[in-house]
Amino acid sequence: MKVIAVVVTFNRKDLLLECLRGLLNQTRKVDEVILVNNASTDGTEELLKANGILDEPLITYFHLDKNSGGAGGFEFGMKKAHESGADWIWTMDDDIEPDPKTLEVQLSYSDMSECINATKIFTENNEVQYWEQYYDPFTARLLDLKNTAFENGLDWCGVNVACFEGMLISRNIIDKIGFPDPDYFIYQDDTVYGIKASFFTNVIYVKNAVFRKKIYGYGNMNPFRTYYTLRNNFKVKRDISHMDQIGSGDRLANFIFLLSQLRVTVEGLKYEFSSNMLKSIVKGWRHGLQGK
């Protein structure tokens, strides 16, 4: 069974070294690491060379000419891993580091799922990230169950979304649903990928497969995140709920969806009331409605 890890990085060279360190020290060794440098400008490649990373026999390195976002980076890397004959592909961002037994634990669930997601713990304060989530295609909303299953003593639970911060997915599922959609650029690309996977397998979230997440508060609604959240929420609605226009489909579902978009708008304005934020909000709504 061939397991290939896909790591996508952009301008986080020091955190990347920590991620790769954890990746190469697994109790169940990976067979290859596809490292995708998304056109970093912070000297990532020079640091990798200085630390001998590019001489590691397990690492296959690609430097992209332009930043294609997390979605484009994972599409590229997962295609390369698939071409390399991976039976399982293990995805991760550059700001997380797997515990030594993480891959071993995830693979122990391979008899019940072909899309296995891991727990993230923030290194800053040891806080466990809530990720027991369910996407409701009726309202196009992501419902957060706050890790209730784990609090009730379970070691795993079913979800219908995925996260590229530690997702382990089988070749069989990839052959059915294809590769990530680069048009998302960033945010919700992995959510949609998990929804698609849930049509063919029991997507699960595992308590004892742990990644250490190095950046805390990544969900702050800055203008960049607010724009992509608004725009991509519309795209998820189209891709999963198959509603080409806001006026189509169930009126109640559309009303609930628009309320959730207003909530994102308010959160953005509360985080930063500025002309830049207002422009991002208007642009996010416009591009979302236009399908642009």
Quick one: what percent of the chain has pLDDT higher than 90? Answer: 85
The predicted pLDDT at position 253 comes to: 80
Identify whether residues 170 and 209 lie together within a single domain: yes
Boundary (domain end) residue, out of 213, 247, 273: 213
The DSSP symbol for 211 reads E
Phi and psi angles of residue 194, each rounded to the nearest 5 degrees, phi first:
-65, -40
What is the pLDDT averaged over residues 212-234?
89
Identify whether residues 201 and 250 lie together within a single domain: no
Domain count, the chain: 2
137 falls in which pLDDT band (50, 70, 90)? Answer: confident
What is the pLDDT averaged over residues 17-24?
96
Identify whether residues 193 and 251 lie together within a single domain: no
In this prediction the pTM is 0.93
The predicted pLDDT at position 246 comes to: 43
Identify whether residues 28 and 141 lie together within a single domain: yes
Identify whether residues 162 and 231 lie together within a single domain: no
143: CATH: 3.90.550.60
Identify whether residues 16 and 79 lie together within a single domain: yes
Identify whether residues 58 and 181 lie together within a single domain: yes
Identify whether residues 208 and 228 lie together within a single domain: no
Residue with the bigger pLDDT between 244 and 14: it is 14
Residues 150-205 have pLDDT tens digits of 999 999 999 999 999 999 999 999 999 999 999 999 989 999 999 999 999 999 99
What is the pLDDT averaged over residues 263-290?
95
Identify whether residues 117 and 28 lie together within a single domain: yes
Residues 53-102 have pLDDT tens digits of 999 999 999 999 999 999 999 999 999 999 999 999 999 999 999 999 99
CA distances from 221 to 91, 102, 260, 265, 278 (A): 25, 30, 14, 9, 12
Residues 60-69 have pLDDT tens digits of 999 999 999 9
Identify whether residues 206 and 275 lie together within a single domain: no
Task: Report whether 258 contacts 207 (CB < 8 A).
Answer: no
The predicted pLDDT at position 8 comes to: 98
Identify whether residues 137 and 231 lie together within a single domain: no
Residues 202-218 have pLDDT tens digits of 999 999 999 999 988 65
Task: Report whether 31 contacts 59 (CB < 8 A).
Answer: no
Residues 235-269 have pLDDT tens digits of 998 888 754 444 445 778 888 889 999 999 999 99
What is the pLDDT averaged over residues 144-151?
94
Boundary (domain end) residue, out of 213, 246, 261: 213
H or E element, residue 241:
helix 223-241
The predicted pLDDT at position 141 comes to: 80
The predicted pLDDT at position 245 comes to: 43
One-letter amino acid at 160 equals N
The predicted pLDDT at position 244 comes to: 41
Cα–Cα distance measured from residue 87 to residue 66, given in angstroms and rounded to the nearest whole number: 29
Boundary (domain end) residue, out of 213, 244, 264: 213
Domain membership of residue 218 (yes or no) is no
Q: Which domain holds residue 116?
A: 3-213
**Averaged confidence pLDDT in the chain:** 93
The predicted pLDDT at position 126 comes to: 92
